[in-house]
Amino acid sequence: MGIEIERKFLVQGDRWRSNAAATFYRQGYILATKERVVRVRIAGDRAYLTIKGETIGIGRAEYEYPIPVADAAEMLDTLCDRPQIEKTRHRLAIGDLVWEIDEFYGENQGLIVAEVELPHADYPIQAPEWIGEEVTQDPRYYNAYLSKHPYQTWEIK
């Protein structure tokens, strides 16, 4: 079983943009509850089916499988809830960690969140200067939540 251990932060400014590699993502949810998530994602020219368990602390079970892009596109068009998540993921290696900065579009326009996956829950991080408030424990910033409650509809941001 794979375990995803990550922390999430809001992003301040755009000093991170200069050296980040970018990939466009489109993703949707077949199932999205507190206990489990089944997601379909197209990332650039690749596609994945991902199953995640309930978050406990900053970790959760994660299983991810490559699937044909045509199958993913069909699932996104016919099986997944609306609205879907569209974003550009920018990847930036800093030290021994890779920061993933998600810049959202559509109904989540205006939201930029950085995530960093860790080898274990108490792994120390040196946050770059463009990292803002930590939102790891705030479920509103999970993509599955954003697909049901888009950022543009939030009264308090």
The low-confidence residues of the chain, meaning pLDDT below 70, are 1, 157
pLDDT in tens, 78-104: 999 999 999 999 999 999 999 999 999
Q: Token pair for residue 36?
A: 């489990």
Tally of structural domains, the chain = 1
pLDDT at 5: 93
Quickly list DSSP for 16-46. TGGG-EEEEEEEEEEEE-SSEEEEEEEETTE
User: Could you say which of 29, 141, 142, 151 is catalytic?
Assistant: 29
Structural domain for 121, as ranges = 2-153
Any idea of the CA torsion for 18, 157, 141, 30, to the nearest 10 degrees?
Answer: -110
Is 29 designated active site? yes
pLDDT at 96: 93
Pairing of strands 36-43, 46-53: antiparallel
Q: What is the CATH number of the domain that holds 46?
A: 2.40.320.10
Q: In the 8-state DSSP scheme, what is residue 83?
A: S
**The length of the chain, given as a count of residues:** 157
The amino acid present at 47, given as its one-letter code, is A
Q: Hey, which bits of the chain come out as E strands?
A: 2-11, 21-32, 36-43, 46-53, 59-67, 85-94, 97-104, 112-117, 131-134
pLDDT at 151: 97
Q: Which residues pair with 10 in a beta bridge?
A: 113
pTM: 0.91
pLDDT at 1: 62
pLDDT at 155: 86
